[in-house]
Structure 1
Amino acid sequence: MSGFSTRNKYFDELFATEGLLWMGQNTNHIPPHPAVKAAMLASIEAAEFNAYAPPLGFEALREAIVADLGVANVEAVVTEGGVNALATICRARCRPGTTLVTTDPTWKWPCLFARQQGAEVIEIPIYDPATNYKLTPQALEAAVDERTAIIYIVDPNNPLGICYSRAEIEAFSEIARRNNALLVHDCTYRDFATEHHPALKVSTENTVVSMSFSKWLGLAGLRVGAFVAVPDLAAEISSWSTGVLGGSVISQRAALAGLSVKPGWMQEVRRINRENQEAIRTATEKQGFALPVFPSQGNFLVIETIQAGIRPEALVAAAKRQGIMIRQGTYHTERFGERFIKVSTSVPAAWVEAFCEKLPSLVEDARKLNDVEAQF
């Protein structure tokens, strides 16, 4: 079986697993707000799916995204998931002879998109307690030069869960502007953070913010995201889009409804997320695991297993056998991936209770596993 078919079969089997606890993809499985569900059902009943949506997204949704971000004189472009926004940005700016500068670990797909365009990817190591697991302005400065097309910052970082201060974002923005590089601030997880500073609030010059409704609102399977920039830049990036017929109508109706109830909804989601993180910390520390970043500012935790002598891949395989999907560190980083697993925390409390209860047996099973199937 070919590599891409193997990957598809892996996720198809996961999806077909009845009662699977999805705790590895940072997805939100807390029951949806009634308004979001009602908006989707109303759209279906009206058969809105028979028609194409506007190519940049419904105007009401575009305006709501900008209002939620709180930045004036910018435009939002709705995309088929946050990943599509990032792919379009990379197509617009990456070329042979240019570089995309990011961190290690990071979210890996923009690195792939940049390489597909012929650009070189420079990954700055940040898995280091000496820098609080953060990118420093000094390290970024050393990696950026006249070849740099994009500086890609995931904030909060996926998978580490660190979040940058306004001063740090200001420093990154200044470096990008001075080197005529596009600062791409991936704010997918900003709504889980206690404090977050979108780069567009620092400067709108050479800056684009990307976002997703997959994580905070739980619409991963509906594929709706966006990028936000000043009009000229938004138009430039949009000219490279493959989504010329617009995104899902039903998805956009759900996203708009979600924004209308976001303050109260996210307050409850963040409460559940915090309590789940506390429960997982207690359970994992009993197994000799360590949490390098706590609390995480995202809806996930990096859990180091290396000190306990447990291979991440073995623990992921053991969990899968018991109906729990968690993720091995090598999904995010080859350099540091053998150290950790990642576990999602925006899930029902009952899922976390089940994970914590089963963890001792998962560890015991993982110690006995040598060869495991390919993981993705």
Structure 2
Amino acid sequence: MSDIFTRNAWFDTLFATDGLYWMGQNTNHLPPHPQVLAALNQSVAAAEFNAYAPPLGFESLRKAIIDDVGLPGVQAMVTDGGVNALSMICRARCRPATTFVTTDPSWKWPCQFAEQMGARVIQIPIWRAETHYRLTAEALAAAVDDDTAIIYLVDPNNPLGISYSQQELAEFIDIARRHNALLVHDCTYRDFAPEHVAALGLDQRHVVMSVSFSKWLGLAGLRVGALIAAPELLRELAPFNSGVLGASVIAQRAAEAGLKVKPEWMETLRAVDARNKERIASAVARIPGLSLPVFPSAGNFLVIEVQQAGIRPEALVECYLRQGIQIRQGVYHTATFGDRFIKVSTSVPEAWADKFSTLLPEMVAQARQLTDFRQPF
């Protein structure tokens, strides 16, 4: 495990790098919608930040979140980013002698939250071309038993970008029901997946849903997300929230403004994201040894396999960082498969994707020769 102070200093340096192209954190860097900026400025001008928000979030935002997912009979709780919702769920359900079942790769932090509560984490490998890089019901059933507290599914998957059908989700839910486990459907990237299905719409007794405003709306630094669940489940989970004084007032105002303009905003964002993916895919196709295991990705990112090109992901990360572009090495997501790939964010200005693509041949050539590089986080 890396030293917490070294890790913090690393990211502090990145944050202080003037003009850095953030292409490794799946964050959205398009210029914000004017109405979102106006909501932020109005909230600051009114000094709303002097007071605490309601503990579950502003009622108007809670309603807007429920309207956005389009599911009747559920309630929403605004949290300090989607990650806080996931932490709350793990604190509520994970205990020693229970298991937390997810995929490999998955998102690392909920696995850590589960382990902190004494649960044993089981990760099911899905980096397999023969299963189309997807979790299967057969593999999940073999890993789940009556000791399973949580089945955690990131959909679309971060980093692979695959998304699950209604039939697949129904099969996963059936497994959760048989063992009285909670299926946690992490829908952080759902807005980039045109055919995304909310598992919560199929079952409200064994499913909860987490969402985020970091990716589609670009509010990563403001920290705002939500947990969506049936009222009785939310009553059970909410007392385990560490943010007992409510989420950021300013962030909530921006989130609500974003939901009001979401249709037009997403039309623009998806178009830019799609063009960036095509540009990067074209560049990858011209370099022997590089490949895209999943294309098109249902998330705002692409995984690029680099192993057959004879380079280390960390070396390529270092080469790009020297050019002012931050991308992510695979080991951040998975120790098992991390030496195979890098991940590149695509919800960014087109000039960023163009520069990444133009530099790719040179960066690959440099990375093959690079042996002295920093270990990124």
Q: What letter matches 1:166 in structure 2?
A: Q
Deviation at 1:306, TM superposition (A): 0.7
Aligned to 2:299: 298
Pair 1:74-2:74 in alignment: yes
1:1-376 equivalent positions in 2, closer than 5 A = 3-288=3-288, 289-376=290-377
Q: Helix, strand or coil for the counterpart of 1:239?
A: helix
* Separation (CA, whole Å) in 1 of partners of 2:320 and 2:327: 7
* Separation (CA, whole Å) in 2 of partners of 1:204 and 1:232: 10
1:232-268 Cα deviation digits (max 9, x unpaired): 1101111101101001000000000000111111011
> 104-113 vs 362-371, which deviates more?
362-371
* Separation (CA, whole Å) in 2 of partners of 1:133 and 1:70: 29
Q: What letter matches 2:218 in structure 1?
A: G
* Separation (CA, whole Å) in 2 of partners of 1:40 and 1:261: 15
* Separation (CA, whole Å) in 1 of partners of 2:23 and 2:325: 7
* Separation (CA, whole Å) in 1 of partners of 2:330 and 2:372: 17
Contact 2:292 2:305 in 1 (8 A): yes
1:154-180 Cα deviation digits (max 9, x unpaired): 000000000000000111111111110
Normalization by structure 1: what TM-score?
0.99
Q: Helix, strand or coil for the counterpart of 2:168?
A: helix
* Separation (CA, whole Å) in 1 of partners of 2:328 and 2:233: 36
Q: What letter matches 1:241 in structure 2?
A: N
Contact 2:80 2:248 in 1 (8 A): yes
* Separation (CA, whole Å) in 1 of partners of 2:122 and 2:327: 28
1:97-121 Cα deviation digits (max 9, x unpaired): 0000000000110000000000000
* Separation (CA, whole Å) in 2 of partners of 1:306 and 1:274: 25
Q: Helix, strand or coil for the counterpart of 1:203?
A: coil
Contact 2:205 2:233 in 1 (8 A): no
* Separation (CA, whole Å) in 2 of partners of 1:172 and 1:31: 38
* Separation (CA, whole Å) in 1 of partners of 2:51 and 2:220: 22
Q: What letter matches 2:258 in structure 1?
A: G
* Separation (CA, whole Å) in 2 of partners of 1:68 and 1:310: 43
Aligned alpha-carbon RMSD (Å): 0.8
Q: Helix, strand or coil for the counterpart of 2:88?
A: helix
Q: Helix, strand or coil for the counterpart of 2:240?
A: coil
Contact 2:305 2:341 in 1 (8 A): yes
Contact 2:104 2:334 in 1 (8 A): yes
* Separation (CA, whole Å) in 1 of partners of 2:48 and 2:213: 20
Deviation at 1:361, TM superposition (A): 1.9
Deviation at 1:324, TM superposition (A): 0.3
Contact 2:43 2:253 in 1 (8 A): yes
Q: What letter matches 2:368 in structure 1?
A: R
* Separation (CA, whole Å) in 1 of partners of 2:121 and 2:214: 26
* Separation (CA, whole Å) in 2 of partners of 1:348 and 1:233: 40
Contact 2:26 2:301 in 1 (8 A): yes
* Separation (CA, whole Å) in 2 of partners of 1:152 and 1:371: 37
Runs of at least 5 residues in structure 1 that lack an aligned partner in the other structure: none
* Separation (CA, whole Å) in 2 of partners of 1:371 and 1:96: 42
Contact 2:314 2:373 in 1 (8 A): yes
**Pairs aligned (count):** 375
Q: What letter matches 2:364 in structure 1?
A: V
Runs of at least 5 residues in structure 2 that lack an aligned partner in the other structure: none
* Separation (CA, whole Å) in 1 of partners of 2:131 and 2:357: 30
* Separation (CA, whole Å) in 1 of partners of 2:133 and 2:267: 27
Q: What letter matches 2:92 in structure 1?
A: A
* Separation (CA, whole Å) in 2 of partners of 1:368 and 1:52: 54
1:194-250 Cα deviation digits (max 9, x unpaired): 201111111111210001000010000000001100111101111101101001000
Deviation at 1:374, TM superposition (A): 2.2
* Separation (CA, whole Å) in 2 of partners of 1:18 and 1:359: 22
* Separation (CA, whole Å) in 2 of partners of 1:230 and 1:261: 27
Normalization by structure 2: what TM-score?
0.98
Contact 2:301 2:347 in 1 (8 A): yes
Contact 2:104 2:125 in 1 (8 A): yes
* Separation (CA, whole Å) in 1 of partners of 2:115 and 2:5: 22
What's the % identity of the aligned pairs? 64
* Separation (CA, whole Å) in 2 of partners of 1:315 and 1:105: 20
* Separation (CA, whole Å) in 2 of partners of 1:74 and 1:121: 29
* Separation (CA, whole Å) in 2 of partners of 1:200 and 1:343: 29
Deviation at 1:371, TM superposition (A): 3.0
Q: Helix, strand or coil for the counterpart of 1:38?
A: helix
* Separation (CA, whole Å) in 2 of partners of 1:327 and 1:286: 21
Runs of 4+, deviation exceeding 2 Å: none
